[in-house]
Each structure stands twice: as structure tokens, then as C-alpha cells.
Amino acid sequence: MKSGNGSGSLRRTIARLGLMGCAVGSPAFAATACERGESGQSAAAEPPPAATSHAADFVLPEGAVGITTAPARSAELPDYLDITARIQVDPTRVVRVYAPVSGRLLSVEVRPAEYVQRGQVLATLASADLAQARAAYRQAQADAQVKQRALERSRVLYENHVIALRDYEQAQADALSAAAVLESARARLELLRADPDSASDQLSVRAPRSGVVIDLSAAPGEFAKSLDNANPLCVIADLSEVWAVGDVYEKDVAGIHVGAPAAVTATAYPGETRHGNVTAIGSALDTTTRTLKVRVVLANPGLRLKPDMFAMIRAVRALRMAVVVPDAAVLREGSSAFVYVQQVPGHFVRRAVVLGRDTDHQLEVLSGLTAGDSVVVDGAELLRAAAGPS
């Protein structure tokens, strides 16, 4: 730091910043008094015993404002493991919709990426199988009525000793058999969600659950086979909850466990972080990539996460103790960083530090500070501005 005019410039800079003090080591300041602007009185400014010529050492008068200090603290910081991942649909929330009977598709009412409600009509088809099922129901219904009337007659005749017990029991068996056939025919129509009293051969295929149509493989005019068809009419997925599935390398497997907190960030939404827990770790190692699958279950409000999106899973691997300071306490010059440390009240020394991770507005200090060091957390920029080039 220069003497003479340079010292006067530094005094004016400090006074303008509200830090009326003296720079240690300045010949001009060593022989002058530090003025108190509010009282107009002067007092001799005694340099500290360990005065040095370093431009970043300051002695501030009692009552100076604008500088706040706080001790560097020791905190437990998480050690993270970053895992590349993809968004996947929960297989238990995926429904493949098949035509319950064979027939020709008359219309398809949905499109890919469309959201459907449970019970909504997906497609309509004309089916001879449906006509046969209705005919079988009506036949069973008529037969059951005939057998029931026969049973009533047999009961009357048996009570009047006109027929034998064997004939009455046979009538009971016939009525029970006819009722069973009728119930089977009715259950078949209920399974198809068809009206037993309708004479139409058209059947509406409805959504078994609410969700998004993620695949559609049907078009009007096509002939749809029954449940043995290899291709479903459409695939519906409930995306209200999705999976983030990543591959963790064999060497990192020991560092994670089921239940560990995890944060997931999708590449499509870099500013959004979703929190969950590691819910499963694969039990079979991929011999080609030497990785295991790791799964995190995520809520998906607004259905913004889509299947096959890229994402990053940040899982907590371990916790360790570290020295941290607020990010406002750290100043940077090029690739180096430093803080101002208060050695005694009013005496500040610049100290270089090596930084680690930035965690929630707290900077990890790998070297240069110990827990308990009094660090300037508010006003460090004022000290640097007053010091000028070092």
C-alpha cells in the first residue's frame, strides 16, 4: 500500500464506507489520529503489536458499523452419488386393453397422449360373438323359466301323491341346472359390459382405469381378435406416480442403501428438483455394464414427467463433518478465494481458503479455516474495496 497521497485516498475510502479506521502498516496512519466523524473529537490510534505491511489487515475503531462477524461452524454434510437415470412407468399402473370379443372395429374414440377417464369409451366394434352371447342368454332364460314351472307342477303333484319322490327330485335338479346356465350366460354379458335386453351386435370397449394413452394400435375397419390377439387395442398408463431408474456401478453399490434420501432432476426441467427415497436396488448385476438398477419413486403432479425422459438421481451416500461458512463471507479473485478473519475485536486479517461444495448457501472450506474462527459474513466487500489492489 502506498504512503502519502495513497494513505489519504484509503482514509477517504474507509470513511465513505462508514468504516472510519486505519490501515495497519501505513506510515502516514501510524503517526496520525483516527477521527470520529460523529463527535468531532480525536484520539490517538495505536497500531496493534503485530503490525504488518499487508494491505488486507485492518484495525477499525470502536463503534464502527457495516461489519458483521460469525464463527465458522462445523456441520455434517452429505456425500452424494450422482446416477444417470430414465423416467419409467410403474408396470403395475399400466393396462393393455384388448377386445373382449372378436369383431370389426367401427370406431376408435381416443388418440395417443390423450388422457382418459375410467369407463370412457375407447372403441366400438361389431361382433358376432356378442350376438351369440345374447342368444345364449335368452335361450338359457327361456329354459330356466320352463324348468321352474315344471318344478312347481312336480311339487303340487308330489304333495298330492300323484308322482314319486324320484320324479320330484329330478324336476328340482333340472331347475337348478337351468338356473346355473342362465347365471353363466348373464355373467358373460356382464363381463362384456353388454346390455342383456339389447338386440344390437355392437360392443363398446371402455377404459378399465384412468390414465394417459401411451400406445394405440387400432384403426376403424380393422378386424380385432379376442383376448388371444398379440396386439392390444391401446395401452393406458397412470402417470400420477413414476419411477426414476438409474444404473449404479459395482464399485459404488456399497455406498447406497434402500431408504436413502434422493433428489431427482429431469433434464427437461433443470430448475426443478423432486425428492424421494431409494426404494429398490437390483439383485442381478448387468455383466456387460457392471451396474445394478436403482429405483426412486416420484409423485408426478401435472404429469410433467414423461416416460423415457433423461434424469439425474443424487443419492446420499454418507455423512461427514466439515467446516462451513455463509457464501457471502467468501470473496474471489480469479481462481483463488479468501475471507476476512477477526483476530481480536476490530482487527481483521485476510486469509486464503480452499473451497469444497456449495450446499444450501453454505460453502465448505477444505483448508484455511478451523471451526470457531470469527469470519466476516457481512461487509467483506467493504473491506476489500477499502484495501484496493493487494
pLDDT in tens, 19-53: 434 433 333 333 333 333 333 333 333 444 433 33
How many Å apart are CA 176 and CA 170, to the nearest integer?
10
Neighbouring-strand partners of residue 34: 43
Q: What is the pLDDT of residue 46?
A: 43
Q: Where do the DSSP E strands lie in 300-390?
A: 310-326, 331-333, 336-344, 347-359, 362-367, 374-378
Helix then strand then coil, % of the chain, to nearest 5: 25, 40, 35
The contacts of residue 13 (CB under 8 Å, 6+ apart) are: 385, 386, 388
Amino acid sitting at position 388: G
The contacts of residue 61 (CB under 8 Å, 6+ apart) are: 20, 21, 34, 36, 45, 346
Residue pair 268/331 in contact (Cβ under 8 Å)? The answer is no
Q: What is the pLDDT of residues 316-372, one digit of tens each?
A: 877 788 888 888 888 888 888 988 888 888 788 888 998 888 777 788 888 888 888
- Tell me the backbone φ, ψ of residue 307, rounded to 5 degrees: -55, 140
Q: What is the pLDDT of residue 364?
A: 86
The contacts of residue 333 (CB under 8 Å, 6+ apart) are: none
Q: Which of 45, 25, 38 is nearest to 64 (CA)?
A: 38
Architecture per CATH, domain 128-200, reads as Orthogonal Bundle (1.10)
| CB crowding 335-345: b at 16 or more within 10 Å, else e | eebbbbbbeee
Q: Please name the fold of domain 95-123+204-235.
A: OB fold (Dihydrolipoamide Acetyltransferase, E2P) (2.40.50)
In the chain, count of helices (H) and strands (E)? 5, 24
How many Å apart are CA 212 and CA 113, to the nearest integer?
6
Which helix (H) or strand (E) covers residue 79, if one does?
strand 73-89
The hierarchical CATH code for the domain 82-91+238-319 is 2.40.30.170
Cell triple for 327: 457464501
How many Å apart are CA 310 and CA 307, to the nearest integer?
9
Q: What is the mean pLDDT of the chain?
A: 81
Q: What is the pLDDT of residue 363?
A: 86
Burial of 141 (0-12, 13-18, 19+ CB in 10 A): middle
Q: What is the pLDDT of residue 378?
A: 85
Delimiting residues of CATH 2.40.50.100 domain(s) in the chain: 95-123+204-235
CB atoms near residue 221 (< 10 Å): 10
Amino acid sitting at position 357: R
CA-based max dimension of the chain: 142
CA 175 to centroid of chain Cα atoms: 61
| Secondary structure class of 98 (helix, strand, coil) | coil
Helices 5-16 and 380-387, packing angle to 10 deg: 160
Delimiting residues of CATH 2.40.30.170 domain(s) in the chain: 82-91+238-319
Burial of 160 (0-12, 13-18, 19+ CB in 10 A): exposed
Q: What is the pLDDT of residue 260?
A: 87
Q: With a cut of 50, list the residues of the chain below it in pLDDT.
A: 1-56
Residue pair 50/349 in contact (Cβ under 8 Å)? The answer is no
Q: Which of 7, 10, 61 is nearest to 38 (CA)?
A: 61
Alpha helices in the chain (DSSP H): 5-16, 27-30, 128-159, 165-191, 380-387
Neighbouring-strand partners of residue 76: 321
| Secondary structure class of 106 (helix, strand, coil) | strand
CB atoms near residue 40 (< 10 Å): 7
| Secondary structure class of 72 (helix, strand, coil) | coil
